[in-house]
Amino acid sequence: MRHAIPNKRADIMKDLFDSVKFGDLKLNSRIVRTGLWESQREQSGNLTPEIYNRYENIAASGVGLIITELISLYPKDSFSKYSHTPHFKQFVREMKDLTDLVHTYDVPIFAQVGFVQFNKKANQNMRVEDISIDDIRKIQTDYIITAKKLDFAGFDGIQIALGNYYFLTRFINPHFNTRDDEYGGSTFNRLKIVLEIIKVIKDNTNLHVNVRLNAFDDQINGMTVDETVEIAKLLEKYGADSIQVTRPRSPQFFTGQNKKNPLIEASEEIISNVNIPVILGGGSSSQNQINKILNTTNIDFISMQRPFVADPSFLVEWYVEGNGESKCRTCNNCYWKKTSTCHVNKSPTLNVD
Ligand code: SF4
């Protein structure tokens, strides 16, 4: 295991390469790799050598925790064609190969699970207020069955996708949820569908439960930081083990040396109100910038997505050089074209074989 590079500045107490505790897990660094779209799986669902190679390069790079690309709960969700699916009959076997590979490097791995659209027969992309109690039970059951599969497949944790604009993100949001039953109205009622899922997963699996959550949004009567703090406290109370804070749209890299980013400020507020680990989601692109955030805020964990798309092994260079910058040029083509590969850095990977 590698150790943190000694900092030349005596006032810097934290370093991104610190070995740290994350709940019950031990991480080799403070960097969390987050995935988004998967474009290299076979149409049948099989994982390709390119995927195993990418994960091995990330795991070997010095990352602390890996969160997969989206595992799409419903095959008819239009975003499923860019995602893994638990309905694939070899899902457990192939994912077990993937988790075994990642664990070779003493790196824990979480599966990101969510869906964007809820479709029922002819009813496509149903609204939050249109789904019945039976539909809610179906969603909860599907999450729990998937969690059991993940447990069998050797994952260390599950990430429930409540960020960006996934279906459950809209469900907990007062702008979208106008239900007048026990799953609408108060913060607790809107979150109840998720709290019930978490409780059953914690009672029936060994998985760490992480929730990816928007800190705020730009909707009228939507999410505010105060509302997110209340949600974070409820999540902790009902069994969530950690939280990742994000925002509805893919965050641009932080700019402006002296201006505080609202996502950082919101994360600090959430961290000061819960006792579980909180990850700052996205927006970081340089080693100095990350160490500055770590040492001027209460933030201990930082997730990155596009830097790993641009170069799955970039942390190796950062560790050696000490002042690394991401190769990502923020063109956002991987985001809009929904690929797990970079459109600028065409052959970036260091093959560890
Ligand atoms: S495609 Fe663009 S945004 Fe995506 S990783 Fe490459 S340079 Fe970055």
Place of tokens 């474009």: 39
Q: Mind listing the pLDDT tens digit for each residue in 283-333? A: 788 999 999 999 999 999 999 999 999 999 999 999 998 999 999 998 989
Work out which ligand 1 atom sits closest to the CA atom of 345.
Answer: 6
**What pLDDT band is residue 348 in, cutting at 50, 70 and 90?**
very low
Question: CB burial class (10 A; 0-12, 13-18, 19+) of residue 308?
Answer: buried
Distance CA 52, CA 141 (A): 29
Q: What is the DSSP string of 59-91?
A: HTTT-SEEEEEEEES-TTSTTGGGSB-TTSTTH
Rounded distance from Cα 53 to ligand 1 centre (Å): 19
CATH of domain 20-336: 3.20.20.70
CA 276-32-346 angle, to 5 degrees, is 165
Mean per-residue pLDDT, 42-70? 94
Cα(339)–Cα(192) distance, rounded to whole angstroms? 33
CA 209/CA 152 separation, integer angstroms: 15
Residue 283 has a pLDDT of 78
Phi and psi torsions of 49, nearest 5°: -55, -30
Q: pLDDT tens across 114-135, in order? A: 999 999 888 888 999 999 999 9
Nearest-angstrom CA–CA distance, 216 and 305: 20
Pocket perturbation via mutation, ligand 1, pick of 325, 333, 340, 347 by most ligand atoms within 8 A of CB: 333
CA distance 194 to 161: 10
pTM of the predicted structure, to 2 decimals: 0.92
Nearest residue (CA) to ligand 1, atom 5: 310
Helices assigned H by DSSP within the chain: 49-59, 91-103, 133-152, 167-171, 187-204, 225-237, 262-271, 287-296, 306-310, 314-321, 333-336
Task: Give φ, ψ of 214 to 5 degrees.
Answer: -70, 135
Mutate to test the pocket of ligand 1, among 344, 345, 346, 347 (most ligand atoms within 8 A of CB): 344
Cα 152 to ligand 1 centre (Å): 34
Length in residues, the chain: 353
pLDDT, average across residues 51-77:
95
pLDDT of residue 8: 45
Q: How much distance in Å is there from the Cα of 314 to the middle of ligand 1?
A: 14
Ligand 1 center to residue 305 CA distance, Å? 10
Centroid of ligand 1 to alpha carbon of 333 (angstroms):
6
302 pairs with which residues across the strands? 31, 280
196-209 pLDDT, tens digit each: 999 999 999 999 99
- Report the distance separating Cα 345 and Cα 353, nearest Å: 21
Domain boundaries, the chain: 20-336
Pocket lined around ligand 1, Cβ cut-off 6 Å:
306, 309-310, 328-334, 342-345
Residue 139 Cα to ligand 1 middle (Å): 33
CA of 186 to the centre of ligand 1 (A): 40
* Pocket residue to mutate for ligand 1, from 69, 250, 309, most atoms within 8 A of Cβ: 309
pLDDT grade, residue 44 (50/70/90)?
confident
- Say if strands 31-34 and 25-27 run parallel, antiparallel, or are unpaired: unpaired
Pocket test for ligand 1, best of 37, 39, 284, 332 (most atoms within 8 A of CB): 332
Rounded distance from Cα 304 to ligand 1 centre (Å): 12
Nearest CA to ligand 1 atom 4: 334
Give the whole-number percent of the chain exceeding pLDDT 90: 74
